[in-house]
Structure 1
Amino acid sequence: MALEIHPSSTRLTGDNRGKGGTPGKRRLKAEAGAGDKPPLTLFFALPKNKVSCLFVATPSGTIVAASSTPSPPPPRRRVDFLVFTLLAALALAAYAGTFSAPFVGDDEGAILENPTLRGPLWRALLPPPGGLTTSGRPIANLSLALNHAVSGEAVWSYHTLNLLIHLLAACTLYAVLRRTLASPRLAARFGGAARPLAATIAALWLLHPVQTEAVTYVCQRTESLAGLWILLALYAFIRATTSAQPVRWHALTVGAALAGVGTKEIAVALPPLLLLYDRTFVASSLAAAWRARRGLHLALFATWLPLLALVATTGWNRGGTAGFDVTVAPTAYWLTQPQALTHYLRLIVWPHPLVFDHGTFWGSVRAAAPYAALIVPLLGLTLHGLWRGTAAGFLGAWCLLILAPTSLVPGTIQMIVEHRLYLPLAALLTLLVTGAYAALGRRSLFVWPAVALALGGLTLARNATYRSAQTLWEDTVARAPANARARYNLGLVYSAAGRPADAVAQGEAALRLADPRSYAAKAHALHNKLGFDLMQLGRTPEAIAHYETALRLRPDYALAHLNLARALSAERRFAAAVPHYEAALTLAETRVAVESELALALFQAGRLPEALAHAQAVVTQAPRSVPAYCNLGYLLLSAHRPAAAAAAFRRALELDPADAAARRGAALATGER
């Protein structure tokens, strides 16, 4: 006889004893019935999860039916491999043009001027203190050191690793979603489509153009790498809850959490996030989750201790750019965040325009009210969902917990930063895609491939703006014309390109637009930069005025001292230039050049003995510098010391026999002698 049992009408009971109590087998009884028909009872003996025999019993007797092991499961690993391959192809297609994108913005300090990336790799575990992107983030700094070991300052390896991190994060997100959607809590609604839903969400997340700032902007790897660690910790935790040997998965969970702590401060959200996941999808309550996995959750919360130690290395305020002891009142910053959160929500469904740097702005109760009218109800819905233990509540908490560090800790530079949406985007896309599936069923799945392709096209277009620093900052100024910092950076680009008039226009606009609350920290740099550009245009008196303003704002600003000394020398005000040259000697990277100029200024000011002393110091510091020996020789001639001058010129000619200045000086010295 044939017998078919449906899950909806079947009850399984059993114990861990086989026939005669034989250990290692499970004896299960399945009762199936419908209406007033007598039930059929099936006994399964399951050694090592395989059916070895099947007995079918009915009220009229027992029928023994032979059985074999069940059919092998479908090739699900092959499906997963195909998904990973598809994600890799999509990632490469969307980011193929980024491997030559130059370093921009904070890359200069985090990579080009970061001494810990050079030398032994262990040095990278001690990143520079202060407010650099890598400060207090040793794992992120180590990843950049690995790139530097591979390609130096060539950008291709940095972009390759950034894209690989993004791809691995997308694959991990797929694995997390596939297992969660097929979990007992959600299987009835989503289990049959767990793979296509997870693949859809991962592809949308991978291709969304808002991710470009965390992928193409090299030093913002801190965001994507921290996101990868959080996802890996979540995946390991999920595996631990279903594993017969969870210890190794627990170790991987805590290890990923520690790596996240060493990458970026958003990892502070991971312990409560995993506890909420446990409560929502595994245990029946927070108390049950805590009882079942108290040790694991305690270990996760203990990762906050090394996080505090790392934050301390930044001065607790990331060099004065973020913290509760910066120049900005917390409420002034908090009032900007309703607008920021609303902007993030809009970008999910309408990712245009994207802005590299939104600039500094401050909120007020009146300005924040319209945005708060949207955000506060959503916050309430999230709390209600958490209270009821719903999946939607968990997704809302995921988003809020990841954004909490940057939304609650006051900052002085940027109030809206689009790369902060990197990991929250996954939660919001999950809510969107699963919501559509719950409403429309499998029909909704046919819409998303077109959406993914559209997002990929937008990502390609957005990545084109990173092809040079000029295109990026011009795009930023066009989209945020009131952004003083963007105009300052565009002015730097124009200066490097030999366009001083355009640089002056941007510098004057930056000074005009600079926000008073953040102006004090950056004004000296704005005035110094504008003075430099004015000098290139020959407008020396205006340049001097800006240099002097820069020094009034920051008297120890060595670069402004050097620029002012050069401007005064150009005006033949050598006596006034000398003290500024002396102040600029603290610039170690240009000390030889500064001291050479100081020697000449002292000579022009009639202070020949001091000029000779500095010229001799330059020769000592740069013993193979032909100009240094020439300068010393001419000063010695002026001091009527032809023999010493001839020795200096002779040494210059030994270094470069064709040097015209040395030849002329040697002839003069010989003639005098």
Structure 2
Amino acid sequence: MPARTLHRLPLIAALAVIVLAGLVAYRGSFAAPFVFDDLSAVRDNRSIRQLWPLSEPLALAPRTGGSGADGRPLVNLSLALNYAWSGLDVRGYRVTNLIAHILAALALFALVRRTLTLPKVGLPPADVTLAAAASALLWVVHPLQSESVLIVQNRSEILTALCYFLTLLFVARAALAPRGTRWSTLAIVTCLAGMACKETMVSAPLAALLYDRTFLAGSFRAAWRQRGRLYLALAATWGLLAVLVLQQDGRSGTAGFGLGVTAWNYLCTQCAAIVIYLKLVVWPSPLVLDYGLPIVRDWTAVWPQAALLVLLGAAAIWALRRCPRAGFLGFVFFATLAPSSSVIPIVTQTMAEHRMYLPLAPLLVLLVLGLRRLSRFWWAPVAAAVLGLTVLTAQRIPAYRSELALWTDTVAHAPENARAHNNLGNMLAASPADLPAAIAEFRRALQLQPDHLEALNNLGNALVLSGPAGVPEAIACYEHALRLDPNYASAHSNLGEALAKVPGRLDEAIAHLERAVALKPQFPEAQFNLALALAQRPGSALAAIAQFDLAIIQQPELAEAHYYRANLLLAQPGRVTDAIAGYEAALRLNPRYPEAHHNLGTALARTPGRLDDAIAHLRTAIELKPDYFSAFLNLGLIYAELPGHETLARTHLERALALRPDSTRTRAALGRLNAHRRP
């Protein structure tokens, strides 16, 4: 083997082990469904449905109503590429997240290795690759990273970390290369890309300057004299971040001041949160997807945590002068955590483990280098930790394999979290057998947070599903939600749908549904419900068809909209052909739709030359729904008109009569058949 290849074997082995460790830790994660914020960032995100023009996925203005993709155009573009590749198949998105996570770990390895080879560090060459690999391995398999890898929209954390590491690496290469223009350009490009991924990137230009001062130039003055233009260019990338932040208007009202949480209370809350994060670095259990919205309003409740953080911050400041390498790592930790965990309130999530994705890196590097100074056999506990953390990460994956499992796990570890109870109730409500348990979860959420709008709305939905007896209480839930927020479009829509079931309240129902559509023009569910209500009002068939058209434009895959619209068209003179097209569209979306097969069959029976197709669809309706009275009746009536099919006609009509003995039409048809048999 050539000497050069032998020299590179440790490097090749380190890269291979990092990739293998990431694959082993997350090997069972690819089939987990979209959960939590993925629903708004991916499933309901219309801006990722097309790649061209690029202005659609790269739009700077909010497009998804405050999801993790808003204001992060590069993240949104990556989701659009996933959609172009695999539609809404979750496996493609999860594979992309894992690939990005492993690439970020490799970038961290390259950065640490490059840094440890610098003269100002002075690490023996034999330890350089091993220490860099140990840092990257701990980082890639640590369970605290699992939320960022397993929640698709948290790709913003992964891409930001990748850009952060590459920016520092390219700054180092630019300083060391005889002609560093190419590396400087790459540093500027990756810094700009990071700004288009998440606000966490804001500290990267400062970190690059501090990195130069600590590991390259030796002082700020020397760093500025040698590479001042590079740092000016890096600072200029703040312009893009500023535009993105201003466009978001406080991330669609989810972050910023004046949202009910003061900066002081949020800072107190973050004192408790950051200490929990630090505990999870050392002992990553229990991990919780959603901590809810805990707000600390009395600083005395968190003074021990605040004192600890003040000491750590003071130590980092002291180290910047006395021990610059440790000080640099401390700066990166606090600087990358500050955008989400300082004084700017994020009211939708006051604590989140994914915020530690990038800040975890400097802590683990500091840990590895500290262990190396303490013992010659420092690699042994690191190897044991890598194995243990890999097992813990693999054990975390089953919690993400279904939304029901995830929210059950969250409620178990955060029983005072009203949002977790609400989301668990949503999962349980999908099964009729679990409806009582869902109602109990919604009621528990309202006990914990009486003004929880979504819990009120969802409790109303569950009560409607429980049967007619639950409709009055459901209406009361919707009305309570609307008293709390008169502009709550979903509550208007659901209240209108419930009122439409109550005799004499159809006009009220239509008024609420029209209000829902006015509040939220792109609301296909409300447009669908409004169309159904209008269809019940005499003389409003054309208005109902128009609302169905709007719902279909917004949500073309809504098979029920195609079906009910076709029903109305079938009742209009000369619109049989249009009705047939509507039924066929519904069946393309849902081939196992017995009512659509039945109505398409009856429409085809009225069309010359389509009788065989009509019979086929009616028979399919019966196969899908064996107790379908109307399908048996209509198929029997068709057979009764065909010579030689009297036996089939009688069989179907007798089956229809058995299903509904009080049907006079069925009795009359059978009577005509029997009369025809007499001599």
TM-score range (shorter-chain normalised) is: 0.7 to 0.9
Structure-2 separation of matches of 1:649 and 1:426: 61
- Choose from 216, 223, 229 the match for 1:289: 223
Give the letter aligned to residue 407 of structure 1: S
Q: State the match for 1:13 in structure 2.
A: none
Query: Does residue 1:305 correspond to 2:305, yes or no?
Result: no
Work out whether residues 111 and 144 of structure 1, in 8 Å CA contact, stay in contact via their aligned partners in 2. Answer: yes
Q: State the match for 1:352 in structure 2.
A: 285
Deviation, 1:580, is 2.6
Structure-1 separation of matches of 2:316 and 2:241: 27
Query: Does residue 1:319 correspond to 2:252, yes or no?
Result: yes
Give matches, 1:109-120, under 5 Å: 109-120=40-51
Structure-2 separation of matches of 1:541 and 1:100: 40
Q: State the match for 2:276 in structure 1.
A: 343
Residues 325 and 618 from structure 1, CA distance in 2 versus in 1: closer, same or farther, beyond 3 angstroms?
closer
Residues 287 and 324 from structure 1, CA distance in 2 versus in 1: closer, same or farther, beyond 3 angstroms?
farther
Structure-2 separation of matches of 1:482 and 1:650: 53
Give the letter aligned to residue 144 of structure 1: L
Answer 1 or 2: which has greater helix percent.
Answer: 2
Deviation, 1:412, is 0.6
Deviation readout 1:38-60 (Å, 9 max, x if unpaired):
xxxxxxxxxxxxxxxxxxxxxxx
Deviation, 1:258, is 0.4
- Choose from 21, 34, 38 the match for 1:103: 34
Structure-2 separation of matches of 1:506 and 1:405: 34
Query: Does residue 1:537 correspond to 2:463, yes or no?
Result: no
Query: Does residue 1:237 correspond to 2:171, yes or no?
Result: yes
Query: Does residue 1:527 correspond to 2:462, yes or no?
Result: no
Structure 1 length normalisation: TM-score?
0.80
SS at match of 2:291: coil
Deviation readout 1:466-511 (Å, 9 max, x if unpaired):
1111111110010001111111111111112332211111111111
Task: List structure 1 segments (4+ residues) > 6 angstroms apart after TM superposition.
Answer: 71-74, 618-624, 643-652, 661-668
Query: Does residue 1:126 correspond to 2:59, yes or no?
Result: yes
SS at match of 2:156: helix
Q: State the match for 2:22 in structure 1.
A: 91
Deviation readout 1:552-595 (Å, 9 max, x if unpaired):
22333333223223323333233443423443455641466334
Residues matched between the structures, number: 578
Deviation, 1:633, is 7.0
Structure-1 separation of matches of 2:46 and 2:318: 49
Give matches, 1:55-70, under 5 Å: none
Q: State the match for 1:279 in structure 2.
A: 213
Deviation, 1:425, is 1.1
Residues 417 and 581 from structure 1, CA distance in 2 versus in 1: closer, same or farther, beyond 3 angstroms?
closer
- Choose from 566, 575, 593 the match for 2:528: 593
Deviation readout 1:64-107 (Å, 9 max, x if unpaired):
xxxxxxx9668443321111111111111111100111100010
Residues 625 and 416 from structure 1, CA distance in 2 versus in 1: closer, same or farther, beyond 3 angstroms?
closer
Q: State the match for 1:361 in structure 2.
A: 294
Moved more, 171-180 or 576-585: 576-585
Deviation, 1:534, is 1.2
Structure-2 separation of matches of 1:626 and 1:114: 25
Query: Does residue 1:579 correspond to 2:514, yes or no?
Result: no
Structure-2 separation of matches of 1:649 and 1:82: 65
Structure-2 separation of matches of 1:253 and 1:164: 21
Q: State the match for 2:591 in structure 1.
A: none
Deviation readout 1:498-541 (Å, 9 max, x if unpaired):
32211111111111212x8xx5xxx3322111101111223122
Deviation readout 1:240-299 (Å, 9 max, x if unpaired):
111111110000101000000001111101011111111111122111211111001111
Q: State the match for 2:108 in structure 1.
A: 173
Structure-1 separation of matches of 2:372 and 2:84: 47
Answer 1 or 2: which has greater strand percent.
Answer: 1
Work out whether residues 497 and 533 of structure 2, in 8 Å CA contact, stay in contact via their aligned partners in 1. Answer: no
5+ residue gaps, structure 1:
1-70, 603-607, 637-642
Structure 2 length normalisation: TM-score?
0.79
Structure-2 separation of matches of 1:423 and 1:542: 47
Residues 445 and 501 from structure 1, CA distance in 2 versus in 1: closer, same or farther, beyond 3 angstroms?
same
Give the letter aligned to residue 583 of structure 1: R
Q: State the match for 2:121 in structure 1.
A: 186
Q: State the match for 2:402 in structure 1.
A: 468
Deviation, 1:647, is 11
Deviation readout 1:133-159 (Å, 9 max, x if unpaired):
011100111111111111110011111
5+ residue gaps, structure 2:
554-560, 582-599, 606-613, 619-629, 642-663, 669-679
Deviation readout 1:7-64 (Å, 9 max, x if unpaired):
xxxxxxxxxxxxxxxxxxxxxxxxxxxxxxxxxxxxxxxxxxxxxxxxxxxxxxxxxx
Residues 284 and 598 from structure 1, CA distance in 2 versus in 1: closer, same or farther, beyond 3 angstroms?
same
Structure-2 separation of matches of 1:275 and 1:620: 57
Moved more, 543-552 or 262-271: 543-552
Deviation, 1:601, is 4.0
Residues 563 and 195 from structure 1, CA distance in 2 versus in 1: closer, same or farther, beyond 3 angstroms?
same
Q: State the match for 2:557 in structure 1.
A: none
SS at match of 1:88: helix
Give the letter aligned to residue 459 of structure 2: L
Work out whether residues 229 and 257 of structure 1, in 8 Å CA contact, stay in contact via their aligned partners in 2. Answer: yes
Work out whether residues 225 and 263 of structure 1, in 8 Å CA contact, stay in contact via their aligned partners in 2. Answer: yes
Deviation readout 1:278-321 (Å, 9 max, x if unpaired):
11111221112111110011111111111000111211x10111
Residues 583 and 86 from structure 1, CA distance in 2 versus in 1: closer, same or farther, beyond 3 angstroms?
same
- Choose from 367, 375, 387 the match for 1:453: 387
Residues 279 and 202 from structure 1, CA distance in 2 versus in 1: closer, same or farther, beyond 3 angstroms?
same
Give the letter aligned to residue 579 of structure 1: A
Structure-1 separation of matches of 2:135 and 2:15: 13
Work out whether residues 279 and 389 of structure 1, in 8 Å CA contact, stay in contact via their aligned partners in 2. Answer: no
Query: Does residue 1:489 correspond to 2:412, yes or no?
Result: no
Work out whether residues 339 and 371 of structure 1, in 8 Å CA contact, stay in contact via their aligned partners in 2. Answer: yes
Query: Does residue 1:219 correspond to 2:148, yes or no?
Result: no
Query: Identity over the aligned pairs, expressed in percent?
Result: 38
Give the letter aligned to residue 23 of structure 2: L
Work out whether residues 322 and 412 of structure 1, in 8 Å CA contact, stay in contact via their aligned partners in 2. Answer: yes
